Amino acid sequence: MVWVKFLVCVVIVVIAGTRLSTYGDVIAEKSGLGRAWVGLVLLAVATSLPELVTGVSAVTLLEAPDLTMGTLFGSNIFNLAIIAVMDILYRERPLLSVASRHLVLAASLSMLTIAFAGAAIYTATSVSGLSFFNWIGFYSPVLVGLYLFSQRVIFRFERSQQAELAATIEETRQYDHLSSTKAYIFYGIAALFIIGSAIWLAYIGEEIAEVTGLGTTLVGSLFLALTTSLPEVVVSVAALRLGAVDMAVGNMFGSNLFNMGIIIAVDDLFYRGPILSYVSEAHIFTALIAVLMTCVVIIALVYRTERKTFIGTGWDAIALIILFLGFYTLFAIGPRSG
């Protein structure tokens, strides 16, 4: 029954995520914010709601910090692997050769935040007393600061490209038949469904860990990370079909930024103690893989190949898939934790 419940929850997340992305795109058009910015911020935050609520539920109701961190760091890797999937679906040429170079800024800032979070795990598990009132870790305000700084830098840069964004919005207007009020209402309803399913996911993840004996670290990094990344898959594939490559790719970086910069700090606030002091150091390895995968994306954005090199796939997509599969292979055959 645990797998039946897991499947039902996956279906709910996918359906709600689809609606969320659709009405998020409507809001982007109606508000004039631009699809690139909405991909990095609005859609990224919206599709990260499962990670946020699952994390808070896991640390408050289940007291399972490893499950929480596994979900977050695992989701970072899944998000980057989605770029490889989109490259396979995008038949014309390598996906990242079409994406704007200015996404390098968002990719670099997300990589910096992931690297700091990984380093914070090592410091928190090795050195005691680095917290405020033995409750909030020293890293939480720094991560929030990194997130806010990143959003400010990205916003100012995107604003400098406003003329280009405005032209893109004008060319792709397609929601004149929908009102802004309807978009906001249905956006909120879809978000509520995602929150409800995310709370349920925390319980299901704990059941899977007990039934399979895999441990909460692996379950969080694999099963829950996959499920909570499904909204990102739906949003990005839908954006890709609309030809909005920047929005599709930007959603991945924005989601990773939110995972590390905000959700860790929120989970730390709800947990009884500095949360990263009570998690497995295996998550450092997960963070390292995410950093390496982001490096691959940055190189591909700068060094733009015009042709796909292997079975209709770009070299960057192959590298991302190898890192992704290699990580989970090593994780599966390694010592079980949690």
Quick: pLDDT tens for 232-278. 787 788 778 777 788 889 889 999 999 999 999 999 999 888 888 88
Residue-level pLDDT at 148: 95
Contacts of 152 (CB under 8 A, 6+ apart): none
Tens of pLDDT, residue by residue over 274-315, are: 888 888 888 999 999 999 999 999 999 998 887 877 677 888
Model pTM? 0.83
Burial of 318 (0-12, 13-18, 19+ CB in 10 A): middle
Q: Give 3-state DSSP helix, strand, coil % of the chain, rounded to 5.
A: 80, 0, 20
Q: Is CATH 1.20.140.10 what the domain over 2-333 is classified as, yes or no?
A: no
Residue-level pLDDT at 337: 44
Domain spans of the chain, in order of start = 2-333
What's the chain's average pLDDT? Answer: 81
Instruction: Answer yes or no: is pLDDT of 335 > 70.
Output: no
Residue-level pLDDT at 256: 94
pLDDT band at 42 (very low <50, low <70, confident <90, very high): confident
Tens of pLDDT, residue by residue over 111-168, are: 999 999 999 999 987 776 666 777 788 999 999 999 999 988 888 887 776 555 555 5
Give me 206's structure tokens.
Answer: 């704990």
- Segment 190-198 mean pLDDT: 79
**Buried b / exposed e across 40-70, counting CB within 10 Å, b at 16+?**
bbbbbbbbbbbbbbbbbbbbeebebbbbbbb
Instruction: Answer yes or no: is pLDDT of 173 > 70.
Output: no
Residue-level pLDDT at 336: 47
- Segment 193-221 mean pLDDT: 68
